[in-house]
Amino acid sequence: MTVRTRFAPSPTGYMHIGGMRTALFNWLYARRHGGQFILRIDDTDKERNLDEALGPILQAFKWMGMDWDEGPEVGGSHGPYFQSQRTEIYQKALEKLLADGSAYKDFDPPEVIQADREAAQEEKKQYLNIRRSLELSNEQVTEYEAEGRKYVVRLLVPREEKVSLTDAVRGDVEFDCGLISDPVIARADGSPLYNFATTVDDADLEITHVIRAEEHLSNTPVQILIYRALGLNVPTFAHIPFVAAPGTKEKLSKRKLDKYRKNPQFKKMFEAADRVFPRIGLGGCDGLDPVMVEYYEKIGYLPDAVFNALARLGWSLDDKTEVMSRETIIENFSLERVVKSPAGLDPDKLDSLQQYWMSELPASEKTDHCLPYLIHAGLLPDLVSDDQRHLVDQVINVFGQRLSTFGDILEVDYFFKAELRESDIDEKGFRKRVCKGEVPKLLLEYSQQLEELTEWTASSIELSLQQFAESKEISAGLLIPALRICTTGAASGPDVYETLAIVGQNLCVERINDVAQRAADLQS
RNA sequence: GGCCCCAUCGUCUAGUGGCCUAGGACUCUGGAUUUUCGUUCCAGCAACUGGGGUUCAAAUCCCCAUGGGGUCACCA
C-alpha cells in the first residue's frame, strides 16, 4: 500500500510556523516512502474570502519547496479537497451511523446540556452527557422531528470499552471510553464537526498515516470510534510534539505575540522586522511576525535554512549531523527518530543554519534575492541596469558573511545613496573618530591626493593612504575609521579600501571634504 | 479538577542496561587571525528533576513524588 499523508489547514490568512513543521513531517514521510502528500482545506467556516485566506498558505508551501500531489490547484482523484464541497459525503456517513445505531439524535437544547455540565461541576463529578434522547421511542422521535424540534447528532460511545492505539511516536496509549462524553458529530443544521469530518475525509482520501501535533492525541479515541462505527480502516497515527515558543515548553501561539517581543531569544526577530519591513513597505511588525512562515520569506531567509531548522525541531538524523540538505533529510526521515517532548523554536540555531546555506548560495542568486529589497526601499529603480546590477554584485561581495538574511542588504544602503545627509552619519563615531585633533585637517589634505589618484582600486587606495601616512608620520589607523565614517556614515562595515573603491572616486572626495569640513568647523 | 502526554548542558538534541569520568550543534566566555565590524580557526564553561526499587551494572527498566504541557465545545 502506498503511503498517503495529508495536511489540512484552515484558511486563516497565514501559515503558522508550527503548522509548517507538522506539514513538513507529513511531506517528508510521504517523500521518504515514495507516497503522496495531500493538501486538504478545512474550510467549514464558510464566510471568509477564500482566496485571501488560502493564498498565503499555498504560497508558504511553494516557498518552502513542498509540493503537494493532490489538493487545491492540482486536483487529484480523491476530490474535492475542500471540506465545504464535501457535504454529501458527510451526509452519507452520518446516515449510515444513524441507521445502525452508532449515533443518535439528541433533542436536548444547549441550555439543558449546559445545566447538566454545571451540575456535574458543582458536585465535583466528571461530566458525562445524559442520554435522555436515547430513552425516546421511535414514535416520539418521529413526532419530535415532525414538530420541527432541533437536534444534534451524537456518536454513541461504548462506555464499557477501552480504546487503545499504537502511536508511531508515542507507543501504546489507552483511553477509557467510560470517561468520554458522546461527542456531537453534526450540528442542528446538519453540518459536520471536526472530529467527524476529519475522520470521514481521512478515510475517503485513503490516508495511511495521520501525522499531527500532539494536542490532537486526546481527539484520537473519538476518531477511532468513528472509524470503527463506519467499518473503516484505522490509519497509523503519529502525534508529534508541538513547536514551542523559544526557550519555553508552551505551544507557539499567535495570541501571545506581546509576550514574545520580550522573550530574549525571540526579540531579535522582532527587531529585524522593525528594521526591515517598514523600509520595504510592509509596515512594521503588525503585519508579519515570526509565528508566520511569511515572515521568514519576507525578511529574507532561505527556504533551505528554514527547512533544515524545522526538520531538526523534534527530529534528528544521528548524534552529530546538523546541517542537512533536503535530499539528506528526505532519505533519512523516520517517525522513530521523532522526539516526544515539545521543542522550542531556536532563532539562534536558525540563524546559524541560515548563515551556512547562504554561504552555499551562488553569488548571482544572492544578487537576485537582494534586488527586490533595494528596489522596494527606493534605492534602485524598478528596472535595474546592468551597471546597477554590477554594483549590487560588488557590494554583496565585500559584504561577505555579514549578509545573513537578504534584508540585511539594507544595512549597507549607503552604497546606493547619491548623497549622505547629516542624519545618515553615525553621531558617536563622527565625534570620536573624525572630530579628533588633526584628523579633519589631514582628511582634507588626503582627499586632494585621492582626487589625483589615476587608478581607483582597493589596493591603489591602500597604497596611497600608506604613503600619505608615512609622509605625515602618522599611523594609517588614525584615518581609517574616519574615512569610513566620512564616506559611508557607518562606524563599522566591510573593508575600508574596498568600500571606498565601490563608492567611487568623485563621491569619496566630495563626502570626505564635506564631513571633514564640518568637523573642522565644529572644532574651531 | 478528570483524562492523556512529556522530563538529559541556557537552547536544539545523541543516548533503547556495560562502549557515559554523558557525545554533537547553537548560544555564551577566552585566545589567535583581521588596524573596525563580521568571518575563520582553536580552547573553555555547561545537563541526566527528586526519591525508592530491579540488576554484578541504570540517563536507560519499574514504582512514587515533583514539575511542565496538552485536552476536556453545536472551534479546528
Using DSSP bridges, classify how beta strands A171-176 and A162-167 pair: parallel, antiparallel or unpaired: antiparallel
Specify the pLDDT at position A285: 47
Specify the pLDDT at position A466: 93
Q: Is the CB of A314 under 7 A from strand B?
A: yes
pTM: 0.94
- The one-letter code for the residue type at A14 is Y
Nearest nucleotide, C1' to the C-alpha of A462? B35
Contact A175, A224 (CB under 8 A): no
Residue A418 (CA) to nucleotide B13 (C1'), in angstroms, measures 49
> How far apart, in Å, do the first and last CA atoms of chain A sit?
86
Q: Is the CB of A44 under 7 A from strand B?
A: yes
Q: Which helix (H) or strand (E) holds A174?
A: strand A171-176
Q: What pLDDT tens digit does each residue of chain A (524 aa) get?
A: 899 999 999 998 999 999 999 999 999 999 999 999 999 999 876 656 778 889 999 999 999 999 999 999 999 999 899 999 999 999 999 999 999 999 999 999 999 999 999 888 888 888 899 999 999 999 999 999 999 999 999 999 999 999 999 999 999 999 999 999 999 999 999 999 999 999 999 999 999 999 999 999 999 999 999 999 999 999 999 999 999 999 888 899 998 888 888 888 889 999 999 999 999 988 654 589 999 999 999 999 999 999 999 999 999 999 999 999 999 999 999 999 999 999 999 999 999 999 999 999 999 999 999 999 999 999 999 999 999 999 999 999 999 999 999 999 999 999 999 888 888 999 888 988 888 888 999 999 999 999 999 999 999 999 999 999 999 998 899 999 999 999 999 999 999 999 999 999 999 999 999 999 999 998 77
Complex-level ipTM: 0.94
Strands (E), A208-349: 209-213, 236-240, 243-244, 343-344
- Residues 317-346 of chain A sitting with CB below 7 angstroms of strand B: 318-320, 322, 336-337, 339-344, 346
Percent helix / strand / coil, chain A, rounded to 5? 55, 10, 35
Nucleotides of B under 7 A from a protein CB: 1-8, 10-16, 23-27, 35-40, 68-76
- C-alpha grid cell, residue A274: 522593525
* Angstrom distance (rounded) from CA A8 to CA A54: 12
Nearest nucleotide, C1' to the C-alpha of A197? B76
Alpha carbon separation from A328 to A17, A27, A307, A316, A434 (Å, rounded): 22, 14, 12, 12, 52
Q: Is the CB of A47 under 7 A from strand B?
A: no
- Residues 374-413 of chain A sitting with CB below 7 angstroms of strand B: 400-402
Specify the pLDDT at position A420: 87
Alpha carbon separation from A30 to A169, A309, A334 (Å, rounded): 16, 19, 10
Nearest nucleotide, C1' to the C-alpha of A251? B69
